[in-house]
Amino acid sequence: MEPGNQTNVSEFFLLGFLQDSEHQPILFGLFLSMFVVTVLGNLLIILAISSDSHLHTPMYFFVSNLSFADICFTSTTVPKMLLNIQTQSKSITYGGCISQIYFFMVFGGMDTFLLTVMAYDWFVTICHPLHYPVIMNPHLCDLLVLVSWFISLSYSLIQILLILRLSFCTNWVIPRFYCELAQVLMFACSDTLINHILQYMMTGLLGIFPFSGIIISCTQIVSSILRVPSAIGKYKAFSTCVSHLSLVSLFFGTGLGVYLSPDASSWTGMIASLMYTVVTPMLNLWNRDIKRALQNVLRRTLYVQ
């Protein structure tokens, strides 16, 4: 498509991994395997938590919601990427691109909020164990999840409505494997000041403040753990905290890498995008209690058969 002073756009082009056509079969098999593992694994997590009464706790209530958000988050981008790799196509319709941006922001925002809520849950668990049942009551847990959904849905809808009023006037080639808000705004001929102001505000809300809250929670948790006399208790608390902090660091670190990368088409930026959208949703599967619950579900299934 020729660059020009155009106002109507019917499709965008996702450059993504199609630059390296020699390795397309390997990339397709790798990403398909990761997608299947992520979706099936997180579905099994939801099944395990719902079927195991020992996991009917606030933490695993948040984990099940995170698994659902991860399934949707990955499904927003990976199927289209796999289709483009398989068909050697780069195109995505205007409506498809706008829809992808919307759901990407919704479920990405939910991941951010749920990781923050889970950090707060661990903070209360370790630092205020006697008050935990009172503080993390079912009403508060439901409210935290509902507020997270409301903010994610509302912000994404407002941003999409602001995008729909824009006109576009460039060649519309996006150097990612999915439609990204910042990249699409670069192609607009219209004034995008409001879009960028809202984007920066929400970057603070969805990035800086949650990450700061998680760091503060983990600092308090570590301080409390160091006062635990039992070595076994210290190890269990530290392993749980490190597991959660590793997931948080990878999610926020790669997310910031995606948005702050000076060269969106570089392999560094592409790998950061891949880690952010595909790898981090897989990490729920390595939780010790989750693995034990999954083993119980599989044993019951085999026993019935």
Q: What is the pLDDT of residue 289?
A: 54
- For 70, the token pair is 């991860």
Given CA atoms 214, 215, 219, 220 in this order, what sign does their dihedral have? negative
- 220: helix, coil or strand? helix
Closest to 29 measured CA to CA, from 19, 44, 17: 17
Where would I find the H helices in the chain? 24-51, 58-87, 94-127, 132-135, 138-164, 181-185, 193-203, 209-225, 231-260, 267-274, 288-304
Distances (CA, A) of 145 to 2, 61, 108, 189: 46, 10, 14, 38
d(CA 183, CA 175) in angstroms, rounded, equals: 8
CATH numbers and ranges of domains, the chain = 11-304 (1.20.1070.10)
**Residues contacting residue 22 through CB under 8 Å, at least 6 positions apart:** none
Question: ∠177-274-170 over CA atoms, to 5°?
Answer: 30
Q: What is the pLDDT of residue 141?
A: 93
- For 80, the token pair is 């289209």
User: Helix 231-260 and helix 209-225: axis angle, to 10°?
Assistant: 160
Q: What is the pLDDT of residue 6?
A: 45
Provide the residue-wise pLDDT of the chain in tens; the chain has 305 residues: 444 444 456 778 887 765 556 667 787 888 888 888 888 888 888 888 887 777 788 888 988 898 899 899 889 988 988 888 888 778 888 888 899 999 988 998 898 888 888 888 888 888 888 888 899 999 999 999 999 999 999 989 998 998 888 887 766 777 777 888 877 887 788 788 888 888 777 777 777 777 777 778 777 777 777 776 666 666 666 666 666 666 666 666 666 655 555 454 455 556 666 666 666 666 655 555 566 666 666 666 655 55
Q: What is the pLDDT of residue 232?
A: 64
d(CA 281, CA 285) in angstroms, rounded, equals: 9
Q: What is the pLDDT of residue 109?
A: 87
